[in-house]
Structure 1
Amino acid sequence: MRYQLLGPVTATGPQGPVPVAGPKRRAVLAALLLNANRVVSERQLSNLVWGNDPPASVRGQIQVHVSELRKLVGRDTILRQAPGYLIVVRPGELDLHAFDEAVTLARDELEAGRAESAAERLRVVLDTWRGPALGGVTEPLRALEGPALNERRLSALEDFFDARLAAGRHVHTVGELRQAVGRHPFRERLQVQLMLALHRCGRTPEALQVYADTRARLASEVGIEPGRSLRETHLRLLRDTTEGAAADAPGRAPVADVPVAHVPIGDGPVADVSVVDVPAVDVPGTDVPGPEVPAGVPAAVREGRRALAEQALVPRQLPSDPPLFVGRAEQLERLDALLTPGTPDTPGTPDTPGTPDTPGTPHTPGTPHTPGTSDAPLTTTVVAAIGGGPGVGKTSLAVRWAHRVRDRFPDGQLYVPLRRRGTDGTALDPAEAAAEVLEAFGVPAPRVPAAATPRFGLYRSVLAGRRVLIVLDDAQSAEQVRPLLPGVPGCLVVVTSRTRLDGLVAAEGAWPVTVDLLSDDETREFLARRLGAARVAAEPEAADRLGALCARLPLALAIVAARAAALPHFPLGALAEELRDACGDLDALDSGDPATDLRAAFTRSYRSLGPRAARLYRLLGLHPGPEVTPCVAAGLLGEPVRRARPLLAELSRAHLLTEDAPGRYRRHDLLRAHALELTLAHDTRRTGGPPSSGCSP
């Protein structure tokens, strides 16, 4: 028989593979093989296969699995010996035993100076691994025994790279080392090997960058400094700049260590360098100080190190700045106040009276403005909550302002959509959003915890000490946003939502910014930007009618403007007549593109409502006027006013109604058309006609 544990657990007999069915049976076999030729008690088997929650019939199940395994591998192979079972494994039958023997021989060869032979032996034995150890067994066994087996493989892989470097094969080893480091970024021995390989290839600046990146990663994700071996290798490379690239020839001995104190630099005098002579500089993208190359090192090494440091991973994820952005001066000024020191009644920095040309001076709408002219870090995590109805331009405002202030956040600008693409528009789990941010900062997927709580902890650790701008677009609720708020000061979070995030304002001090319909002047400018000022000026009344028929809603205006731009020979008056003749039918505003589907945008907001508020929204389609009161709502529902008020409040939180004054609500005509579609499809079909409009307290 042949048994395989280094990958999927399998058994092979003289006639070929033996079918070991089911994770539990494979786990029983693997547990016995891991203790080959030794007794494994029933209690041990239970813990290894079922973990801490075995079934009441565990002893009987073990007996059944052992009985079936005996049929496959032979009754004399698995023996019953109190207090459990023993599997007899002969030399050469178990791949794990063969692996350990080969690694031991290779290490002896490497110690004896036979690096080429050791490297080849290790390569062959590493190729026997067919994937992560113990594949196809139960989770308890894989969790208990898998890490130790995979550690044996990694240790052998590091031995292989040592042998390759000792054999002078550094040129051909760099690529494999980079792959290994990418998969195991916290293995310092691999980092040391990569640094040495690069240095011996004459690529010392890249070797120094490996150290800087590793040090920054360890500090930001684990909170520790590099180990002694990595630090000493780094210092050695800083001092040893005379070693050139060597031929990649078999048998070349590794370069000898350069003495620590006196290092010859070029043709000049001996340089005396110690640890305290190395000043610290900031590693870009982190708050972790990194070592600078000493003054005596040649300029090429110094410049290469500096250039590579400047290329440290800094995410720049913002969508493009909206080129045809119009208006929103009031909202932009309100957002600017978040980052302007001395602005009263805003979070972030203490109040300081503003003076001309200094932070704190009020910004005049419509004039160029660089918000927060002071580059001082924020004294708290600032959260802006941009809310508004569907199609009103929340994301455009957030992206426009993010571009205006991005220079304040040199460590990264992130854009995270919190709603999945598609017609259903389901909300993204915040843990998935956190994983996207970690990936943006270069955290490898295997290092991202599977459980939500440690994942959010790592998320906050990565952001700690960084000045990062995060745009969380289209949030469903405050609960979705809270886990994604950084834990320490210095970051800015901009949240957009079609739902008013009152909980985020109340508990986290978010700064609310509401986006409404465009004004008449902004609507004309909107059309002029897309159609040309001359075309709009030639038909000003038609342009105004188009704006009114689109309810001055940016998404609707963009759809109409796109049609008008595609038909430059059509008078604007003709297009306005088409819209008027459609009598509010939303099909007239169908763009054919799911990303700009007006009906779908309205429907996503509608689906966020509770059943009773959704019914009221539909019934409001039967109300002809723009203004809605609790009495009107009660009449449509056929219920007392006291029951209508909370439903109106829910519609207002969803920005499907706007409360201009206490008890006075309005909605635009396109929302009414959408509501009418829904009520005609649902309510009149059920009731046989529209509800009454009586009002009772």
Structure 2
Amino acid sequence: MDDLSGIRYRLLGTVEVQVDGRRILTGGPKRRTVLAALLLQPNTVVTDERLIDLVWGRRPPRGARPQLQGHVHGLRKALGADTIQRAACGYRAVVPEGATDLDAFERSLVRAAADRAAGRLDEAARTLRHGLALWTGPALGGVTPTLAEHARPALEESRLRALEELYGVEVRRGRAASAVAGLRALCADHPTRESLTGLLMTALHHSGRTGEALEAYAALSAVLAEELGTDPGAELRRLHLDLLHADEPGSGRGDALPPAGRTRVRPAELPLAVGGLVGRVEELGVLDQGLDADRAADRSTTIFVLTGVAGVGKTALALQWGTAVRDRFHDGQLYVDLHGSTPGREPTPIDDALRQLLRSLGVEPRDLPSDSCELAKLFRSVTADQCLLFLLDDAASVEQVAPLLAGGRGSAVLVTSRNDLTGLVAFFGARPVRLEVLSRESAMELFAAVAGVPAVEAAAVAGIVEECGYLPLSVRLAAATLTVRALCSDRVRRAGLSGAAGGPKPPAPDAAVC
């Protein structure tokens, strides 16, 4: 079979193959196991030893390797010679994207998480139901016990999580009563799973059955004490306390929802902007004009890359502009310190940055994929319809930044870095903004603003700002040092010690403070 576009593999039930809607016979349990083991790691080499172990267990027959080759030959004959490739130490299944029901199911979870985080609850519910409909029975039906014991628990856990998410969405949609029966059944099958009991309690409460919700808590407490010797966790105890104080459904404290029902908070994560920004009118204008031009042209996310030497004020400028235009990004502002030049610290890993951003956007930690590619896909899905401002501070490289570029139309990404990051300009259309040191006049103005020196006296510190190289950070530190010394000197004089013989003298400001 040269064309693999029409092939579909089923793992969420009895393992089988369909080609253009027609079911293909693939053999008995051992052959199904070889196929399923390869499909569970698509486009990845699975060693002969691993396949033999999954097919025959710890005591394979002497002819296991030739038999394995026979099963692969049979699969190739049924599915096409290109479907399974031989590698140096094993086999690789060539699986087109979306060809397995497991892939489709996992994609539905990613889309639903994005919809839920954005408040699109109807879409999230439909997507979850579509994904769950792919299950036709226990996963990996018809394979050997070894493979079933190895791989089925994780797959069934994914299904359980999807059901839990669906019922959580239904509760948030105001359909708590319809969720009660399904939640009761799940709690019966998983009597120690606190998140399920929390959802059941919430659904019962919003259905006017708070007494039954309290009974569900008592039942869980008894099971945990008897089987595990523990008490319910802090979150479930808080929900129980809320329900105890609820006089009636929908009032006061009893409206609390478990984790699946938390209200998304509009992120506003930019740190406090540095006061007294001086001499950056032109650069601020470039940022304003760039955003306006892209929005007028109905382009997608605007990307700025602010570069310059250490201490030139890249972060200060980004924060000043971000604070000024906050109202233009109605879905929020997010901030990540990428630590590209922090002494003694490695740059922030891409996966860590993605997880931080997704949590800020309302995605529950339990919904975050472990795979890097899936994390990036979820990030793009969550931000696709939102107008956001991202400040990616102190980037180390283009490779660190590229997976973090996302957002819907009207969004903007500000990247600051000591490195040029020309790849962002070349490949992502970023607008470069190069920050140079301040002019002599601007540096003196900044010094005067920080130190509180009257403008007429500011020329007296021209030598200091020159020694500081006209770098905003050095100028600020010098001015702050002078201010602190002056304050100390004033306190000494007030104490009557400044004129005493041999008494201490206030240190004179000098250029060394830079």
Could you tell me the TM-score, scaled by structure 2's length? 0.47
Could you tell me the TM-score, scaled by structure 1's length? 0.35
> Higher relative CO (CA 8 A, sep ≥ 6), structure 1 or 2?
2
